[in-house]
Amino acid sequence: MNAQRLTIELYNRPQAWAAIKGQLFPFLAGVMQGGATWVLEIKRKKRTAAQNRRYWGRGVLAQIAEQATVNGQRFSAEIWHEQFKRQFIGVIELPNGQVVGMSSADLDTAEFCIFCDQVEAYAATELGVRFVDLEPHASTAPARQEAVPA
């Protein structure tokens, strides 16, 4: 096999085992003959495009921006996002002592789901937002395996 990198998405035990036997073992058999050192990294997938659409599109943030008022004032989706990052993810202190919300871009699918649940619960209970027509959290995308050539 000539590929220098292999990416396999794992969804459940039977599919994972089949992918390991059918793709990982053959890949390793081919590349390990060169004597190079390889790194195997197992990590949870980053948040998905569907999660982003649900949160940003006409979903969570847009509905909060349209419905929520604080002291008679409305705020944009971007301002609400900054507030929620600070409130639920954490902050980074700047050299001048001010803080900004930590990025949500590094959250994996499960962490982003928890973050969205926190945002929605806060918006519903504290701001009186009534969410309508939100896409479900879980993606029902079919299992995909991909080998990335050099």
Give the distance from CA 143 to its chain's centroid.
Answer: 17
pLDDT recorded at residue 138: 56
**Whether pLDDT at 143 is above 60:** no
pLDDT recorded at residue 49: 84
At 3, is the pLDDT very low, low, confident or very high (cuts 50, 70, 90)?
A: low
Q: What percent of the chain has pLDDT over 70?
A: 89
Per the confidence metrics, is the pTM higher than 0.85? Answer: no
Q: How many CA atoms lie within 13 A of 123 on its CB side?
A: 27
**What average pLDDT score do residues 96-111 get?**
92
CA–CA separation, 136 vs 64, rounded Å? 17
**What average pLDDT score do residues 93-111 get?**
93
**Whether pLDDT at 10 is above 60:** yes
Q: Please, which residues have CB within 8 angstroms of residue 2's CB and are 6 or more apart in sequence?
A: 30, 149, 150
Q: Please, which residues have CB within 8 angstroms of residue 63's CB and are 6 or more apart in sequence?
A: 123, 129, 131, 132
* Contact between residue 113 and residue 135 where contact means Cβ atoms under 8 Å apart: no
